[in-house]
Amino acid sequence: MDILTRSWNAIDAFLIAPYRWPADPVVGWWVGTILLALWAVLAGDATLALAYRVNRFRVREVEQEMMARHHQSINALKAGDKSAYKAINKLANDAFGESFFLRLAMACAALWPAAMALAWLQSRFSHIRFPLPFNVPLAGKHVGYAFVFIPLYILVRIVFGKAKGWWKKRKVTQ
């Protein structure tokens, strides 16, 4: 057995365990999927922290350049030098774009675990269909694992973000 197969089997055993804890399979589905969403959020947050740590100097450098160019363009505008304002403002816009896309790329680092979780769910639960609780006018009366996981992931991410913010505030006030 090669290392990839052994790694997949170990990850699979770890991820499927919470689904098997409760005796009731429906409860197991919810417990397992909520924990899977939590693990995806935690792994994504850790990846985001690592990406920021690796890129922090570049992020600061680009943001400082953006602010410096902004102030230069405002000063040029106040001085009435419209051509200098336009040239410097273009540099400020370029720095803003670089800062925006650098932060966007780092934010995307937080999402890869959700994609991996969906891939794992597909390998385990693609054959299972969940009935819709109400008479919703959709294409069918059943949905798959993604219809359940994605809203749970978003909810867990929101709750985690609020808890993290609360925890930081609590630590600052102590």
Measuring CA to CA, which residue among 33, 31, 42 is closest to residue 113?
A: 42
Q: What gap in Å lies between CA 153 and CA 110, rounded to an integer?
A: 12
SS3 22: coil
The span from the CA of 124 to the CA of 25, in Å, is 14
Which segments in the chain show pLDDT lower than 70?
1, 133-140, 172, 174
pLDDT of residue 137: 64
- Asked whether residue 174 is assigned to any structural domain, the reply reads no
Q: Is residue 53 part of a domain?
A: yes
- pLDDT, residue 136, reads 62
Cβ(65)–Cβ(95) under 8 Å?
Answer: yes
The answer to the question of residue 153 being in a domain is: yes
pTM attached to this predicted model = 0.79
* 18 three-class SS: helix
Per-residue pLDDT reduced to its tens digit, 40-57 = 999 999 999 998 899 889
Summarised one tens digit per residue, pLDDT across range 112-142 is 999 999 999 999 999 988 877 666 665 667 7
Query: What pLDDT is recorded for position 24?
Result: 94
Q: Name the residue among 172, 158, 138 with its Cα closest to residue 38.
A: 158
Write out the two tokens for 140. 């069918």
pLDDT of residue 138: 59
Domain contains 61: yes
Whether 120 is in a domain gets the answer yes
Q: With CA atoms as reference, report the closest residue to 148 among 133, 161, 137, 159.
A: 133
Domain that holds residue 98: 3-169
| Structural domains in the chain (count) | 1
